[in-house]
Amino acid sequence: MPWHVTLRDASCVGDRANLYSLGEIELARGSVVGQEAYLCTGTHDFDHPDTPLLTAKITVGADAFVGARAFVLPGVRIGDGAVIGACSVVTRDLPSWTVSAGNPIRIIRAREIPDVAGRLSAPTDK
């Protein structure tokens, strides 16, 4: 359902990535979804006898990067500048300017960007 997908300026989606947009998916400015990543907005209520469909929006923040073959579950918000490692399973929201990986996902460290003088820090103008 492409009407549920919003791609902001300079965001991009890699080859064979799947944006399963039963609910909304928003890729903020400059965000990247790697090859064969799967963003899934749908699941089911398995505690109900009819297992009805449930949907929840996925948001990928500005300048964030979702690695190849990562799987993002419904309702997840990936913060600005966050990096998700390849083949990770993103089960929860992730804060801005962090590097995370694994199954289930875990935060590995802060993401620090060198400034012109070579000092490391998380960007503050985002």
Catalytic, 4? Answer: no
Nearest to 64 by CA among 117, 116, 16, 25: 25
Alpha-carbon span 50 to 69, nearest angstrom? 31
Query: CA–CA separation, 47 vs 43, rounded Å?
Result: 12
**Which one of the listed residues 48, 50, 117, 125 is annotated catalytic?**
48
Q: What span, in angstroms and rounded, lies between the C-alpha atoms of 16 and 41?
A: 17
CA torsion through residues 16, 21, 70, 101, sign: positive
Catalytic residue list: 48
